[in-house]
Amino acid sequence: MKIEEYLRNYLNSKSDLAHAKFVENKSLELYTKLKKIFPKNHLLNFEKAEKLISSAALLHDIGALLSTPLLKSHNKVGAKLILENKIDDFNDTETIITALCVRYHRGSKPKEHKHKIFASLNQKNKNTIRVISSILRIADSLDYNHLQNIQNIILMYDFDKCTLTLDPGINIIFNKGIKRVFDKKKTLFEEVFKLKIYLKNDNFH
């Protein structure tokens, strides 16, 4: 079965489609906002940025199709699935980048001394993977409960930190735990961009 078939099956569920599209939308939005804040940052200027971000976001949970109670690491399953199949309109390098972004959207961070495929890439592609993966983690954390309650986000930069502000009207009852998940998944972003990022909402104390 080709990856396009897996994707169609994965997106067949309305809830899965909504989550995938949410992560795609917020990932692209975060990338655009970062580009405006840091227009000269070389990490944010890579080829086919939007296309790579979009594909990695849509496919980030594709491994869930094959995961079982004994095989919970759907990010690793998803990366393997992508590496073993061909993504239309992507060359081999772009397919590898997408697969590794899916691999690193959760769990362990990219490690040159431990992850052979990642270590085999040039520095530019490694940076691309780090950037996309760090953005995916942030976007995914904003919809950790797959309810798509968050619509508007504002990203502000002040010296050595960024503040991500959510809709002031969000009912935190339906987003219990979002800050905990965000704080857990933001560490790669902070390492990549060398700044702290905080989540702000009137309901957080």
Report pLDDT for 205: 45
E strands, the chain, are 153-158, 161-166, 196-200
Q: For residue 146, what is the DSSP state?
A: S
Choice between 176 and 108, residue whose per-residue pLDDT is larger: 108
Please compute the mean of the pLDDT values over residues 149-172 and round it to a whole number.
82
| Rounded Cα gap, residues 124 and 119, in angstroms | 12
Report pLDDT for 67: 59
Helices (H), 38-91: 49-59, 74-83
List of domains in the chain: 3-144 (1.10.3210.10)
pTM over 0.85: yes
Residue 176 has phi, psi (to 5 degrees) of -60, 125
| Rounded Cα gap, residues 169 and 191, in angstroms | 31
Residue 166 has phi, psi (to 5 degrees) of -95, 170
Q: Which residue has the tokens 């909504």?
A: 18
| Rounded Cα gap, residues 76 and 60, in angstroms | 10
Asked whether 9 and 65 are in contact (CB, 8 A), the reply is yes
3-state secondary structure of 98: helix
Quick: pLDDT tens for 75-85.
998 899 899 88
Asked whether 125 and 38 are in contact (CB, 8 A), the reply is no
Q: For residue 63, what is the DSSP state?
A: G
Please compute the mean of the pLDDT values over residues 115-123 and round it to a whole number.
93
Of the listed ranges 60-64, 115-119, 153-157, 196-200, the one predicted with least confidence: 60-64
Q: Which token pair is 136?
A: 């995916």
Q: Tell whether the model's pLDDT for residue 201 goes beyond 80.
A: no
